[in-house]
């Protein structure tokens, strides 16, 4: 028997840290060991990144003028098939390695044609890891190459070839077909492809590469017998499955028009320029709309850069300088020290900035931000010069743009006093927390939770039922202002929004500071009815437009209160959906005739919830339908919605910022026709409470 005061083992017993401690991972082992280093995450974004990597190889062929037709297909069993009519991956034996070039590309990190500027002048995949990483993270893969009259094939299992590259037939086609099936042991969410995510990404790419046809096919429900290996493209088989084809000649101008489809435009002509300078091709298009939110979408070698980069910096610099010069020359900016700011000129702009350069540098393998210094000066020079010409040659457009920016300048000046008063002198200097806020005792943000509830009734129940140490309650009265088109000064005139801003502690606008967030769980808890859904949408609009870092930090949640309380004697359970209610009743052994429905807010009759007598349960089960949190007593609210050990919360995330932006425009903007069309086309996806 060991003694409690036994001495710890001596440190010398530990394994020595010497040369034998250093591991050398061979082949594709590093990818499987640390997949996040290569695809960013093993969640849904990383899973879809595999498609982007293979697609990018085909797209790079199109960018070089070697391909004009690409097909991406989702197949049964989690497989993906990507085909293009490019030159085809070389299959001959490499002079140094004595391996087929195809095998090198698929099984060796940093092996590919993109290090050679003669083969690919512009490419997003200069790291040379795309195809090999996808292969390493797949249970099975296969590549079929149509090249020089022959069909060549090689198969792989977890990144390793099953046999040498072999010729399996003759062909008149040219191009590459890649099959792969991601390894579910790598990806935390399993192999669940998001059709809309894939369609949106490929549509975007079709705008960026003028003249290329991109087809996406969802054949997941098709049978294996539907596929004919002799077909280069699956669309040739005539499968009756969902599919979409994209082909755009307008390029970035068409993309800007697509983003502005649900907006009121400020000027008619869409600005566009494409020009090469210092070995950098700069392509920019923009148009102002009657809105206050800027939308700048950036690409480098057709890779989407959600965090922008040097090209965006160059664009913003040139835009501010050019509009100030025009405003000064046109005698619109009369005061010596009066200038448009960066915020003024960006208000309401929809812009796409795309650059292509041979030696590209990203900040990280996921390519979220461009770091190439030369892109900044080239973008600023090309765009600035072209914008000056555009303003001179299109006086009506120039007048509309300048008036739009001038309006932003005037609004900024008019709002400054209100912002200074409420923000700088308020939230940052200790403005008293709102009286309606029942704050928690703990001061550490990582332990604190803020429940935003609807109305005084829910506020009363939640204040009584909460854990006072960690849970704060902020009741809001009625529906808050729709901030989709409201400026900060108008927002802060709303007592409800002002109370929320002060409670969060981050301030808002140009003095927003995420580090000052007072609660690391901000939980929206509204009623399960139409009004509750509307209030939740208004709050999400506020957070998305003015507190997006709070969403991106993973701090916003939506509570999931139960819809039903089901009681049969002492057996009391809660159900969060109609399906769950039926499952609970079935588990209780309750027949439909033994169910007693109770209207919202009513109490059950005593005999219906009577305690069990001599081991016998009451004949009926009582079901109480909750309309709102205010109808629950404090103990029920704690047990179902607030207790961290039992509650269900949904974290709010922004997976596709551009698509989220578009949906907010449709649902919360002024275009009634677009909103009606969206609701009608998506009605079948709604959870109806009738």
Is residue 454 flagged as an active site residue?
yes
**C-beta of residue 383 within 8 angstroms of C-beta of residue 323:** no
DSSP structure class, residue 296: E
Which residues are CB-neighbours of 637 under 8 A, at least 6 positions away? Answer: 461, 462, 465, 561, 629
* 580 conformational bin, left if phi > 0, alpha if psi -120 to 50, beta if neither: alpha
Closest CA to 461 of 674, 629, 685: 629
Residue 289 token pair: 């709309």
In the residue annotation, 529 being an active-site residue is answered as yes
Strand-pair category, 556-559 with 571-575: unpaired
Long-range contacts, stretch 584-591, CB < 8 angstroms, 24+ apart: 585/621, 588/621, 590/621
The yes-or-no answer on residue 527 being catalytic is: yes
531 is catalytic: yes
Cβ proximity of 628 and 567 under 8 Å: no
Q: Which of 529, 580, 608, 671 is catalytic?
A: 529
Q: Are 239 and 77 in contact (CB under 8 A)?
A: no
DSSP conformation letters of 332-365: -S-STT----HHHHHTTEEEEEEEE-SS--BSST
Q: Which of 155, 467, 531, 659 is catalytic?
A: 531
Question: Considering 60, 183, 449, 527, which one is annotated as catalytic?
Answer: 527
Please state the φ and ψ torsions of residue 103, each to the nearest 5 degrees: -65, -35
As a whole number of angstroms, the distance between CA 373 and CA 300 comes to 12
How far apart CA 141 and CA 182 sit, in angstroms, is 9
Catalytic residue among 71, 374, 454, 665: 454
The DSSP-derived string for 361-398 is: -BSSTT--SB--HHHHHHHHHHHHHHHHHHHHH-HHHH
CA distance 669 to 656: 19
Cα distances (angstroms) measured from residue 418 to each of 178, 305, 357, 367: 59, 35, 45, 40
Task: List, as one string, the DSSP characters of 537-555.
Answer: HHHHHHHHHH-HHHHHTT-
DSSP-assigned letters across all residues of 109-124: TT-SGGG-TTT-SS-S
Active site residues: 454, 527, 529, 531
């Amino acid at each position: 028997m060991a003694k409690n005061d036994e001495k710890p083992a001596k440190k010398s017993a530990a394994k020595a840290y010497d040369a034998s401690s250093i591991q050398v991972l061979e082949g594709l082992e590093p990818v499987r060991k640390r997949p996040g280093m290569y695809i960013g995450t093993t969640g849904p974004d990383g899973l879809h990144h595999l498609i982007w990597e293979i697609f990018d190889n085909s797209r790079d062929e199109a960018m070089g003028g070697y391909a004009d037709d690409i097909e991406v297909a989702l197949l049964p069993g989690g497989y993906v098939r990507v085909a293009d009519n490019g030159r085809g991956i070389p299959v001959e034996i490499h002079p140094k390695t004595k391996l087929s070039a195809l095998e090198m590309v698929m099984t060796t990190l940093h092996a590919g044609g993109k290090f050679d500027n003669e083969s690919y002048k512009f490419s997003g995949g200069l790291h040379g890891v795309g195809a090999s990483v996808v292969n390493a993270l797949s249970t099975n893969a296969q590549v079929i190459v149509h090249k020089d009259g022959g069909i060549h094939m090689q198969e792989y299992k977890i990144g390793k070839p099953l046999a040498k590259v072999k010729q399996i037939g003759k062909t008149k086609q040219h191009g590459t077909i890649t099959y792969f099936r991601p390894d579910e042991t790598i990806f935390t969410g399993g192999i669940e492809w998001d059709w809309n995510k894939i369609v949106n990404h490929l549509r975007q790419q079709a705008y960026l590469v003028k003249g290329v046809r991109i087809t996406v096919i969802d054949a997941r429900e098709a049978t294996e017998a539907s596929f004919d290996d002799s077909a280069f493209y699956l669309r040739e088989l005539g499968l009756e499955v969902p599919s979409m084809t994209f082909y755009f000649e307008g390029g970035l101008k068409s993309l800007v028009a697509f983003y502005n489809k649900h907006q009121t435009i400020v000027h008619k002509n869409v600005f566009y320029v494409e020009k090469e300078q210092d070995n950098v091709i700069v392509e920019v298009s923009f148009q102002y709309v009657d809105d206050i939110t800027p939308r700048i979408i950036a690409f480098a070698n057709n890779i989407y850069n959600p965090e922008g980069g040097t090209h965006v910096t160059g664009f913003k610099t040139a835009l501010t300088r050019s509009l100030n010069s025009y405003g000064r020359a046109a005698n619109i900016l009369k005061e010596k020290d009066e200038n448009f700011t960066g915020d003024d000129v960006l208000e309401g702009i929809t812009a796409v900035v795309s650059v292509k350069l041979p030696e590209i540098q990203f900040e990280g393998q996921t390519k979220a931000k461009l770091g190439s210094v030369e892109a900044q000066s080239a973008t600023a020079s090309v765009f600035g010069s072209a914008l000056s010409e555009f303003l001179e040659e299109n006086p009506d457009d120039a007048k509309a743009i300048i008036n739009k920016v001038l309006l932003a300048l005037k609004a900024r000046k008019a709002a400054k006093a209100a912002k200074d008063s409420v923000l700088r002198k308020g939230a940052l200097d200790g403005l008293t927390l709102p009286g309606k806020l029942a704050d928690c005792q703990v001061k550490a943000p990582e332990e604190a939770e803020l429940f935003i509830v609807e109305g005084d009734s829910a506020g009363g129940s939640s204040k009584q039922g909460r854990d006072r140490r960690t849970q704060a309650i902020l009741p809001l009265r009625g529906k808050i202002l729709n901030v989709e088109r409201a400026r900060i000064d108008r927002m802060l005139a709303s007592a409800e929004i002002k109370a929320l801003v002060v409670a969060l502690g981050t301030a808002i606008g140009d003095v927003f500071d995420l580090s000052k967030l007072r609660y690391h769980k901000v939980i929206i808890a509204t009623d399960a009815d139409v009004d509750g859904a509307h209030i939740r949408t208004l709050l999400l609009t506020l957070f998305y437009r003015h507190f997006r870092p709070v969403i991106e930090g993973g701090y916003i949640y939506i509570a999931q209160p139960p819809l039903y309380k089901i009681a049969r004697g002492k057996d009391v359970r809660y159900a969060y959906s109609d399906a769950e209610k039926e499952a609970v009743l079935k588990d209780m052994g309750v027949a439909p005739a033994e169910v007693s429905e109770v209207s919202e807010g009513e109490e059950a009759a005593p005999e219906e919830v009577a305690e069990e007598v001599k081991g016998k349960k009451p004949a009926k089960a009582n079901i109480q339908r909750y309309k709102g949190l205010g109808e629950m007593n404090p103990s029920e609210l704690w047990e179902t919605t607030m207790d961290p050990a039992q509650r269900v919360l949904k974290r709010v995330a922004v997976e596709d910022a551009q698509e989220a932006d578009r949906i907010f425009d449709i649902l919360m903007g002024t275009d009634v026709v677009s909103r009606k069309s969206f609701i009608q086309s998506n009605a079948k996806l709604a959870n109806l409470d009738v």
